[in-house]
Structure 1
């Protein structure tokens, strides 16, 4: 079972769409807390939804996969380390029991978990898919 992740920062719309198509993604799961900011460019909710519709890719925005506003602020303002963020966010995923939504989120699709960060190394989308893999060892993760 393939789970992909992608960040839209520093990507053109063309490279973003091409990456999704090359990996046969048919569902994008938006893990952002805020998805309507003008800074999001083509990844602003309404625009992204329209683009994905043209590509025959389903769009879902799931706030249970996003950090809280307080946690997001703390990491952005360097009030906590990445290690602390990982622990707190993973605990939040456990508390929210996101594993109970696996069938709903994944189904028989090739999903791609979306966030803004260019690379997955310090992004919560990586933590989400790694957490889900703990519940199904068939999951293979590819960061686009």
Structure 2
């Protein structure tokens, strides 16, 4: 039987840079897969795109890729943040969006394996990165293990 694919997820909110980078290193993450639509905001602190790419390579020898197709659309995110929809509706709409986008065609299995989906949410419970990881777990022809860091 083939070795399972390992997908990690992490959010940067409520983490210091030290905690964030140490979790990635200790888990053996090979690359960050940035699943944010907006990765250049000043609010992203040490995870602003260009800074993060530099820090990952310099501190941990971890690669960086941005896959905006893994992010929710602005309308879905706005509807959820403004409480026009609840989490169940968000999951349903985001699930349809990533199915329609065929996100499994946006990245190779080789890049996913050992990759860590990044977004801002502190915990994966109500976060799109968990939904993306679970989508791959269902869709890919191999076993997928998910670890939330």
TM over 0.5: yes
Quick one: distance in 2 between partners of 1:142 and 1:102?
A: 19
Which deviates more, 109-118 or 133-142?
133-142
Contact 1:3-1:112 within 8 A present in 2 as well = yes
TM superposition shift of 1:46 = 1.1
Give the 3-state SS of the residue equivalent to 2:33 in structure 1. strand
> Paired residue for 1:22, among 22, 26, 30?
26
Structure 1 length-normalised TM: 0.94
> Paired residue for 2:133, among 129, 133, 138?
129
Quick one: distance in 1 between partners of 2:20 and 2:130?
A: 18
Quick one: distance in 1 between partners of 2:51 and 2:111?
A: 23
Contact 2:31-2:62 within 8 A present in 1 as well = yes
TM superposition shift of 1:100 = 2.1
Say what the alpha-carbon RMSD is for the aligned residues. 1.3
Q: Which runs of 4+ in 1 moved over 2 A?
A: 104-107
Contact 2:69-2:106 within 8 A present in 1 as well = no
Quick one: distance in 1 between partners of 2:49 and 2:15?
A: 16
Structure 2 length-normalised TM: 0.91
Quick one: distance in 2 between partners of 1:56 and 1:23?
A: 13
Contact 1:75-1:82 within 8 A present in 2 as well = yes
Quick one: distance in 1 between partners of 2:110 and 2:90?
A: 24
Give the 3-state SS of the residue equivalent to 2:19 in structure 1. helix
Quick one: distance in 2 between partners of 1:45 and 1:22?
A: 22
Q: 2:84 aligned with 1:79, yes or no?
A: yes
In structure 2, runs of 5+ residues without a counterpart are none
Give the 3-state SS of the residue equivalent to 1:142 in structure 2. strand
**Number of equivalenced pairs:** 143
